[in-house]
Chain A
Amino acid sequence: MSVSGALRLRRGDFQLQAELALPERGVTALFGRSGSGKTTLLRCLAGLERGDGWLTVNGCRWQDRDHFLPVHRRPLGYVFQEASLFPHLRVRDNLRYGYRRVEASQRRVDFDETVRLLGVEALLSRYPQALSGGQRQRVAIARALLASPRLLLMDEPMASLDVASKAEILPYLERLHAHLEIPVVYVSHAIEEVARLADHMVLLEAGSVLAAGPLHELLVRSDLPLSHADNAAAVLETRVEGYDADRQLVALTCGAGRLWVSREAAPPGKRLRLSIRASDVVISLTPPQDSSVLNCLPARVAEISDDPHPGHRLVRLAVDDGQMLLSRIAHDACQRLALQPGQAVYAQLRGRALS
Chain B
Amino acid sequence: MTLLGIGEADWTALQLTLRLALTSTALLLVLCLPLAWWLAHTQRRLKVVVEALVALPLVLPPTVIGFYLLILLGPRGAVGGTLERLGASHLAFTFTGLVIGSMIYSLPFVVQPLQNAFQAMGRRPLEVAATLRAGPLDRLVSVVLPLSRQGLLTAAVLSFAHTLGEFGVLLMIGGGIPGQTQVASIAIYSHVEAMDHAAAHRLSLFLLLMAFALLVSVYALNKRFRVVGVMS
Give chain A's interface residues, CB within 8 Å of chain B. 46, 48, 70-73, 76-78, 80, 82-88, 97-98, 101-102, 128-129, 131, 136, 143-144, 147
Contacts and interface: CB of A to CB of B under 8 A. Distances in A.
Of A78, A80, A88, A98, which is in contact with the most chain B CB atoms at under 10 Å from its CB? A88
6 contacts: A48-B130, A72-B138, A78-B127, A80-B124, A84-B125, A101-B133
Contacts of A85: 231-232
B131 A77 contact: yes
A98 B127 CA distance: 13
Contacts of B146: 88
Contact of B135 (A72, A76, A129): A72
A299 B48 CA distance: 69
B147 to A, nearest CB: 6
A86 B128 contact: yes
Nearest to A82: B231
Interface string B106-117: 000000000000
Given A80-B128, A84-B128, A86-B128, A129 B232 contact: yes
Nearest to B146: A88
Contact of B232 (A71, A77, A87): A87
A264 to B, nearest CB: 35
Of A48, A76, A84, which is in contact with the most chain B CB atoms at under 10 Å from its CB? A84
Interface of B: 124-125, 127-135, 138, 142-143, 146-147, 149, 227-228, 230-232
B132 A147 contact: yes
Given A128-B232, A129-B232, A84 B124 contact: yes
Contacts of B130: 48, 70-72
Contacts of A73: 133
Contacts of B138: 72, 101
B230 A87 contact: yes
B186 to A, nearest CB: 42
A98 B149 CA distance: 22
A82 B135 CA distance: 22
Contact of A72 (B133, B147, B227): B133
A174 B187 CA distance: 74
B131 A78 contact: yes
A131 B132 CA distance: 21
B131 A86 contact: no
Of B127, B128, B131, which is in contact with the most chain A CB atoms at under 10 Å from its CB? B131
A71 B132 CA distance: 9
A128 B228 CA distance: 10
Contacts of B147: 86-88
Contacts of A87: 147, 227-228, 230-232
Given A97-B142, A98-B132, A147-B131, 15 more contacts: A46-B131, A48-B130, A72-B134, A78-B131, A80-B124, A84-B125, A86-B147, A87-B228, A88-B147, A97-B129, A97-B132, A97-B134, A101-B138, A143-B132, A147-B133
A241 B93 CA distance: 93
